[in-house]
Chains A and B, each alone.
Chain A
């Protein structure tokens, strides 16, 4: 055995890793471009697929690859919420070209907050732990798939009106930061999880949708409807 050959093995492994890294980087930037509705506006007009987004205004100029935020100040948020195929529920709030999504599966203690953009009716959200949601709006329905950790579920959910929707509360309870998320479905059912610093979600107590009040460990919290323009800390 030549003294060099173990080094050759290491170099071969490192080279393979580098090649894969490059391929993966290309693949994920392609996926981002596709989710954002296609290449730079300089070459194509608004994508022909799906219903127009809530704003309906064209991009301000040909800036390649950049999501141009026009002035959607007057748009009202639209919430799509419902059950996932295979368990759990999902809610996505869209306002203009921004969206926030929440997957909630109290049975398996899985939840994921995601945020992202909407372009040409196509929704692409991502969150921590590799959570990703992709979907398309057609009429008053949002259909697509969501993936968290090793779980992948599809869905086709309808737009819901208040008091149904997506609620979020963040507070410090007994020195720990807790984040609670609730999906109120159109039949009034609530699906909610509360997560503290240990990142283990627990089923959330019921939310009073008229006041937004909920009590966690004896401490009252205020949950507010999620608004993509104002919700932070995802």
Chain B
């Protein structure tokens, strides 16, 4: 803001509306961030609950199996891979929706594709996570299992926050892309520390 001329040629009252607009804008921004933090707290509770359950529950070594697969590990690895594939669809559609891919403009069905592929990825991931938690629990005996267990819990918390953010207005504009990116990155990391490890250690098989 430029210096005020000392002669009083520019009266204070005409600057007041601009200043109060800026103040109001920054107040909105900070309350938006606060609102976002509230939702992040809910997501954190989800993550912590899953982690605590995984740690306290005695691993049963047994969980519901799916016909046609060699065993529960194969079921999980393939279902997780389906979820990861849908996550790629999520990333692609999000990039186009935000106009990040030059030369491609979002067709009208793209947001529907994004929503439905996202729902599908989530609903496919839930049984995999349930199986893992019930049969194996939260494991930390090596880096891979520690990262997988931590990020697995984080995924569901982050996804919860992303869903909640969609239902509210008055949140910072960067919230949705940041959360979407987080959910994507975490799911990919969870897949790398489990399904990819399984396929490279035991082999790609049904």
Which A residues are within 8 Å of any B CB, using their own CB? 1, 3-7, 9-10, 12-13, 16-17, 20-21, 23-24, 27-28, 31, 126, 128-132, 147, 149-150, 152, 199
Contacts and interface: CB of A to CB of B under 8 A. Distances in A.
Contact of A13 (B63, B64, B126): B126
Contacts of A6: 162-164, 166-167
Interface in B130-146: 130-131, 134-137, 139, 141
B127 A16 contact: yes
A24 B123 contact: no
B202 interface: yes
Contacts of A3: 166-167
A130 B131 contact: no
What's the dominant secondary structure at chain B's contact region?
helix
A28 B63 CA distance: 7
What's the dominant secondary structure at chain A's contact region?
helix
A10 B163 contact: yes
Interface stretch (B15-23, B54-62, B92-100): B54-62
B122 to A, nearest CB: 6
A21 B60 contact: no
Nearest to A7: B167
A187 B141 CA distance: 33
9 contacts: A10-B160, A10-B164, A16-B126, A17-B130, A28-B63, A131-B61, A132-B61, A149-B139, A199-B141
B59 A129 contact: yes
Contacts of A24: 60, 62-64, 130-131, 134-135
A6 B183 CA distance: 15
A27 B61 contact: no
A3 to B, nearest CB: 5
Nearest to A15: B126
Given A10-B160, A129-B139, A150-B198, A20 B115 contact: no
